[in-house]
Amino acid sequence: MTSPEDLRPLLGILGGMGPMATAHFYRRLIERTPAHRDQEHLPVVIWADPTVPDRTQALLGRGPSPLSAMLTGVSWLTQGRATCVAIPCNTAHAYLDALRAHTDVPILDMVSAALEACRTFQPSLKRIGILATEGTRIARLYEAAGERLDLQIVHVPPATQTRYVDRAIADVKGGGDMARARDDIAAAVGELREAGAELAIAACTEIPLVAGGAQRIMPVLDSASALADQALAMLLPRP
């Protein structure tokens, strides 16, 4: 017999990429849920495996593929009766099609969610700056999604990517100099604005944790928040 618990929507989170990003996404999910008591929040099951091989290194041809480890996580989540799966890691979306091919459970698309959130924020937007890992850049994840929405994607120059963006991400992942990371992201956002971007997306889920100062330069949209909104739209009953 099917129990009421079996019929409840259950969000599966394929996390650990990295741990802080997973915690940030879950916090955003809670904050953005229109709940007035504990019982009104979504049931969630989290598979957080920080040993998943580095996605950027794999895309650069410098390390093993993370796909097998990610498939293991999806399998555990679906066995746990997840209604759909969210992956709070932009770079991992380079493997989205491969993951979807191995399950009938819907896997949300963080990249498309972030760009659609930009359009909701300001319908007239045309040029969007992206703060992402080198892997996300190489995989052209935002370019592909941007073409579908008639949006132009702007990246920082390669030297800025290395000096500021990559260093800030490493600081957050490794518990490094967070004040420097905030300055680095602000500098990168400034360069995106000079390149004509009208808004920036924090397209690596570590970046929102150090993007507060950058918001004074230009609006910075949190891709983790966009993913949380997409999950809530799918799983929460509409009034």
Structural domains for the chain: 4-109+226-235 (3.40.50.1860), 110-224 (3.40.50.1860)
C-alpha to C-alpha distance for 235 and 177, rounded to whole angstroms: 38
Tell me the backbone φ, ψ of residue 221, rounded to 5 degrees.
-90, 135
pTM score of the predicted model: 0.92
The pLDDT tens digits along the chain (239 residues) read 445 455 689 999 999 998 989 999 999 999 999 999 999 999 999 999 999 999 999 999 999 999 999 999 999 999 999 999 999 999 999 999 999 999 999 999 999 999 999 999 999 999 999 999 999 999 999 999 999 999 999 999 999 999 999 999 999 988 899 999 999 999 999 999 999 999 999 999 889 989 989 999 999 999 999 999 999 999 987 65
C-alpha to C-alpha distance for 189 and 217, rounded to whole angstroms: 7
C-alpha to C-alpha distance for 56 and 77, rounded to whole angstroms: 24
Task: Report how far apart, in Å, the C-alpha atoms of 97 and of each of 49, 63, 109, 198 are.
Answer: 20, 20, 10, 30
- Yes or no: say if 232 and 29 are a contact pair by the CB < 8 Å rule: yes
Residue (of 236, 238, 234, 239) closest to 42 by Cα position: 236
